[in-house]
Amino acid sequence: MSKGEEEVKLLGAWPSPFVLRARIALNMKSVRYEFLQETFGSKSQLLLQSNPVHKKIPVLIHGDKPVCESLIIVEYIDQVWSSPPSILPSHPYDRAVARFWAAYLDEKWFPAMKSVQGAKGEEERKALMQQLEEGLALMESAYHSVSKGKPFFGGDRVGYLDIAFGCYLGWLRVIESFSGLKLLDHAKTPGLAQWAQAFCAHDAVKPVMPETDKLIEFAKVLMAKAPPK
Partner 1 sequence: MATNQQVKLLGFAGSPFVARAELALKLKGVQYEYIQESLTNKSDLLLKSNPVHKKVPVLLHNNQPICESLVIVEYVDETWTGHPILPSDPYHRALSRFWSRFIEDQVMPPVFKAAWNPNKQERVKGAEEAREALKILDKELKVNGKFFNGDSVGFLDIAALIIFYWVPIIQEASEFNVYSGDKYPKLGKWSQEVLNDPVVKGVLPPRDVLLSFFKARFQSIVNSK
Asked if residue 68 binds partner 1 (CB under 8 A), the reply is yes
Q: Which is nearer to partner 1, 23 or 62 (CB)?
A: 62
Site string for partner 1, 85-124 (x = CB under 8 A): -------xx-xx--xx--xx--------------------
- CB neighbourhood size of 206 (10 A): 12
Asked if residue 38 binds partner 1 (CB under 8 A), the reply is no
d(CA 60, CA 68): 7
Say which residues have a Cβ less than 8 Å from residue 154's Cβ, sequence separation at least 6.
87, 89, 98, 160, 161, 162
First to last CA, the chain: 53
Asked if residue 40 binds partner 1 (CB under 8 A), the reply is no
Q: Which is nearer to partner 1, 113 or 205 (CB)?
A: 113
Contact indicator for 152, 195 with CB cutoff of 8 Å: yes
Smallest distance, Å, CB 5 to partner 1?
14
d(CA 134, CA 68): 30
Smallest distance, Å, CB 48 to partner 1?
13
Q: Which is nearer to partner 1, 98 or 174 (CB)?
A: 98
Asked if residue 49 binds partner 1 (CB under 8 A), the reply is no
H runs (alpha helix) in 44-116: 45-50, 70-80, 92-104, 110-116
Asked if residue 3 binds partner 1 (CB under 8 A), the reply is yes
The angle subtended at Cα 163 by Cα 198 and Cα 15, nearest 5°, is 95
Asked if residue 73 binds partner 1 (CB under 8 A), the reply is yes
Q: Which is nearer to partner 1, 97 or 219 (CB)?
A: 97
Answer for which of 25, 75, 166, 173 binds partner 1 (CB under 8 A) is 75
Q: Which is nearer to partner 1, 103 or 200 (CB)?
A: 103
Q: Which is nearer to partner 1, 59 or 215 (CB)?
A: 59
Give the SS3 label for residue 77: helix
The angle subtended at Cα 111 by Cα 162 and Cα 178, nearest 5°, is 85
Instruction: State the residues that interact with partner 1 by CB under 8 A.
Output: 3, 52-53, 62, 65, 67-69, 72-73, 75-76, 79-80, 92-93, 95-96, 99-100, 103-104, 138
